Amino acid sequence: MRIIPVKINEGDVVHRSIEEYIRRNSLKGGIITGIGGLMEAVIGFYSPETKTYLEKRIKSSGSVIEVASLQGNYLVKRNGEVSIHIHVVAGFENTTVAGHLIHGIAKPMLEVFLIEIGEVVGEAFIHRAR
């Protein structure tokens, strides 16, 4: 098991930055955890009826969207595609929101740890017969 600290700098796109670290370090699958701040986010709430995400767009007006918890997982599919699944609990302007992080831009930064477990993550979530 490897633990890789990742600093996502202000203005960087969260998912893109994490994917770059996964590819650069030849990771196969693991856990994502972190804290920090965002300048904007799209948070999704899954609707089983429509099988889509209802989206809430949040943009800070000079302040920071505080990420109290960022949790998820990542894996690399057999075709080489990186899959990143992240949930957040975030606070802004006297409001707290939690859900699936569809998109986020860091401000002033996010402190993320990638905990490498290996291909077993893909085996558990993607490759096993359903």
* SS3 label, residue 80: coil
DSSP assignment of 17-32, as one string?
HHHHHHHHTT--EEEE
The domain spans of the chain are: 2-127
* 76-104: b (≥16 Cβ within 10 Å) or e: beeeeebbbebbbbbebeeeeeebbbbbb
Residue among 27, 29, 31, 57 nearest 42 (CA): 57
> In tens digits, what is the pLDDT along the chain, a chain of 130 residues?
899 999 999 999 999 999 999 999 999 999 999 999 999 999 999 999 999 999 999 998 888 999 999 999 999 988 899 999 999 999 998 899 999 999 999 999 999 999 998 766 666 666 553 4
CB 30 within 8 A of CB 73: yes
Topology (CATH level 3) of domain 2-127: 60s Ribosomal Protein L30; Chain: A; (3.30.1330)
